[in-house]
Amino acid sequence: MRSLFSRFSYRFYFIFLFLGFGGLIALLTSLINYNLDVRSIQRELADKANQELLRKRQELSSFTSLLERTVFSLRSSKALREYIRQPNETNRSIANQLFYSVSNTNPSLMQVRYLDSKGMESIRVDWIAGKQTPDIITAEDLQDKSRRYYFLESAQVPVNSFWYSRLDLNVERKKIEIPYKPVLRIASPVYVDQQFSGVVLVNVHMKEFLENFKESATFNIALVDHDGQYLTHYQADSSWSRYLQTGHTLQDDYPNAVTSILHGTPDSTVEFVDPVYAASLGDLLVKDRAHLLLFPKIQAILGMKAERRKAMFMVIGIILLLSVPLSIAISRIPTKLNEKISRQNKKLQEYVNIIDQNVVTATTDITGTMVDVSTAFSRVTGYSKDEVIGQDPGMLRHPEVDAVRKNVIVQKIQAEQVWKGEFYNITKTGDAYWLEAIIFPKIDKAKEIAGYTAIYQDITDKKRIEQLSITDALTGLYNRRFFDETIKKEMARAMRDDKQLAFAMLDIDYFKQYNDHYGHQKGDEVLSAIGQLLQQTLSRSSDFCFRLGGEEFGLLFSGLSSEEALAFTENVRVRIAGLAIEHQWGCEEKVITASFGLLSITPAPGTTVDTVYQRADQALYRAKSDGRNRVFSDLLDQQAV
């Protein structure tokens, strides 16, 4: 009997002990929760404000990106470019239909226009109030906008850039239109054949966007410009204070907070400036340098407090309920911990797979032999992992690239330095591509280099764009801009290596007469044919040929003596004549010929590009004066220089 009583006594003792412990925890929890309630709500509001900021930035960024894609599609359209090149009625009609189609798909596009390089409206499509479809404005109703700020400003922005206006109210006949129409203008300059040809301008009705923008379950939302004027406000009578003189501005409503809001709020996070959460949107609404204001809703705060009270009571109840079976619950901790670790490992593996699929990487051993590559590496190079593992990375090198470069890279990395640079490679199918690389050594536990890891970025498209910028479109030769850069580098290289450098200028004989009698199209064919011949003849990696302007070309090569350079240039002259392109109004041969001015130099300190160019030009003049279709060779006297 005593034993049974003792067993029940101990049981009740532990029950009351756990209940007392649970009650104590519950009491402490309620007291702590009460003290932390205000700060917890502030933290939650701050978190929600940051989340709201991210959503609003995403909404605004997506909206402006859509507008930019619309303007870009119009600016880059074949129809507009054909109209600019040949502004006839047929091309204008096609361009009008394109602008009409774009406008018709989006009623928020109040006005879609193309202003020519002088600011005249050439194409204009309007959504007129009350109509179901937009109208194409006829030519006689188009206006001169050359003095309007939006043309003057948008015409000055860089190529492929976009200009935005202030967010304001639409004005008709010098009066604010009623009902109010919030408007944002976006424009981008149009360049055709590298010439400024006007701007594409879109007026966007912002009412629907702004109404959606202000929607939030937690906050009342407003936008102010950099002067503290309300653009839009959750209370309609405060909106557009700059234009409607509502008597409500940030200075009027919150004089103690206005300076901190307008000059102290960051872009990426919100800052609490009592009583509002504020953040800058100046990078998205540039002209207004706008700020987002988030006013916590009373209902949201009350809801948070109710949730916390509910959570507190639930915690107290759970603690009391779990006090007795606490020992059983403790056994669940290791299981949950193991599940968490498994989830983290799975997530980590997902990240590894993402990197493998999307980042071009390669790992080599200490000898430079590839031991591992990513899936993205195989996709770029065309080689499978099995085909490249165990191979030297040199198998990817383009034939034009010097193999000696590998030694320079290895020497730097062996000094435990990170190497950065570019690789010009070929794929398995023979296609050329460019990679930007970062290579760094792998250090083992003994602090010795165990191998190398390379991370690449495909920059082929960037290189192609760079190539276009230095290439003459007609002949395919390098242009004058690239000549100015190259001759400086080659002179410095020749001076460093103590090698002779040759520069020849050639001019097509009687080319003006050829154009006059055969036409400019035939003249362009001659230039293209000579450009192709020069490319075939100057085929070494150290040879360069340029179109310097008009019918004037330049040849730059090294490693030949003055006699060898003369023989080489003479061969080029003979090959041009050998094209046998008829020219009845030229020299006695009755075919296209060229005159050459050749300058052989060994650059030294003091040798200038201007001197080289002037001497070669003088030599060309002598070749013409001596009867054309010949090479006049000159040697730059270094002592005289």
In tens, the pLDDT along 571-583 reads 999 999 999 999 9
Based on the domain organization, do 499 and 447 belong to the same domain?
A: no
Span 395-402, average pLDDT: 75
d(Cα 40, Cα 487) in Å, to the nearest integer? Answer: 68
Taking a C-beta distance cutoff of 8 angstroms, is the pair 80, 71 a contact? no
End-to-end Cα spacing for the chain: 124
Please tell me the least confidently modeled range out of 227-236, 311-320, 479-488, 602-611: 311-320
Span 458-474, average pLDDT: 78
Confidence label for 626 from pLDDT (cuts 50, 70 and 90): very high
Of 156, 179, 208, the one marking the end of a domain is: 208
User: 582 vs 366, which has greater pLDDT?
Assistant: 582
Based on the domain organization, do 476 and 619 belong to the same domain?
A: yes
Based on the domain organization, do 398 and 487 belong to the same domain?
A: no
Segment 122-132, tens digit of pLDDT: 999 998 877 88
Q: Is residue 50 part of a domain?
A: no
* pLDDT value of residue 229: 92
Mean pLDDT, the chain, integer: 86
Question: How is residue 249 annotated by DSSP?
Answer: B
Taking a C-beta distance cutoff of 8 angstroms, is the pair 551, 511 a contact? yes
d(Cα 303, Cα 315) in Å, to the nearest integer? Answer: 18
* pLDDT value of residue 40: 82
* pLDDT value of residue 638: 47
Based on the domain organization, do 371 and 511 belong to the same domain?
A: no
* pLDDT value of residue 23: 66
Question: How is residue 393 annotated by DSSP?
Answer: G
* Residue 259 identity (one-letter amino acid): T
Segment 429-465, tens digit of pLDDT: 888 888 888 887 888 888 788 788 888 888 877 776 7
User: 589 vs 73, which has greater pLDDT?
Assistant: 73
Segment 319-345, tens digit of pLDDT: 767 766 765 656 566 556 656 776 787
**pTM, whole model, 2 decimals?**
0.47
Question: Which of 304-313, 380-389, 416-425 tops mean pLDDT?
Answer: 380-389
Does residue 247 register a pLDDT over 90? Answer: no
Angle at 288 between CA 283 and CA 294, to 5 degrees: 75
Does residue 8 register a pLDDT over 60? Answer: no
- pLDDT above 70 coverage of the chain, percent: 87
- pLDDT above 90 coverage of the chain, percent: 49
Taking a C-beta distance cutoff of 8 angstroms, is the pair 198, 116 a contact? yes
Does residue 7 register a pLDDT over 70? Answer: no
* pLDDT value of residue 617: 95
- Domain that includes residue 446, residue range: 356-463
Segment 253-263, tens digit of pLDDT: 999 988 888 88
* pLDDT value of residue 54: 93
Q: Is residue 402 part of a domain?
A: yes
Point out which residues pair with 188 in neighbouring strands: 200
Segment 286-304, tens digit of pLDDT: 999 999 999 999 998 898 8
Contacts of 543 (CB under 8 A, 6+ apart): 555, 556, 557
* Residue 600 identity (one-letter amino acid): S
Span 418-425, average pLDDT: 80
Does residue 524 register a pLDDT over 60? Answer: yes
Based on the domain organization, do 535 and 482 belong to the same domain?
A: yes
Q: Is residue 628 part of a domain?
A: yes
Q: Alpha helix (H) ranges present in 245-283?
A: 250-253, 258-264
Of 463, 496, 521, the one marking the end of a domain is: 463
Pair type for strands 594-601 and 631-635: parallel
Based on the domain organization, do 540 and 398 belong to the same domain?
A: no
* pLDDT value of residue 412: 67
Q: Alpha helix (H) ranges present in 287-331?
A: 298-323, 326-330
Based on the domain organization, do 486 and 582 belong to the same domain?
A: yes
* pLDDT value of residue 554: 96
Q: Is residue 379 part of a domain?
A: yes
Based on the domain organization, do 477 and 448 belong to the same domain?
A: no
Based on the domain organization, do 450 and 476 belong to the same domain?
A: no
Chain-centroid distance, C-alpha 268 = 20
Confidence label for 367 from pLDDT (cuts 50, 70 and 90): confident
Based on the domain organization, do 477 and 442 belong to the same domain?
A: no
Q: What is the CATH number of the domain that holds 389?
A: 3.30.450.20
φ, ψ (nearest 5 deg) of residue 415: -85, 15
> How many of the other CB atoms lie within 10 Å of CB of 327?
9
* pLDDT value of residue 602: 83
* CB-facing half-sphere around the CA of 562: CA atoms within 13 A: 12
Based on the domain organization, do 458 and 479 belong to the same domain?
A: no
Contacts of 46 (CB under 8 A, 6+ apart): 270, 272, 277
User: 588 vs 185, which has greater pLDDT?
Assistant: 185
Secondary structure of residue 208 in the 3-state scheme: helix
Of 406, 437, 463, the one marking the end of a domain is: 463
Confidence label for 168 from pLDDT (cuts 50, 70 and 90): very high
Q: Is residue 83 part of a domain?
A: yes
| Domain tally, the chain | 3
Q: Which of 551, 564, 570, 588 is catalytic?
A: 551
Based on the domain organization, do 480 and 528 belong to the same domain?
A: yes
* pLDDT value of residue 640: 39
Q: Is residue 247 part of a domain?
A: no
Segment 81-105, tens digit of pLDDT: 999 999 999 999 999 999 999 999 9
Q: Is residue 489 part of a domain?
A: yes
* pLDDT value of residue 323: 63
Please indicate whether residue 551 is annotated as part of the active site.
yes
Question: Which of 367-381, 392-406, 541-555 tops mean pLDDT?
Answer: 541-555
Q: Is residue 265 part of a domain?
A: no
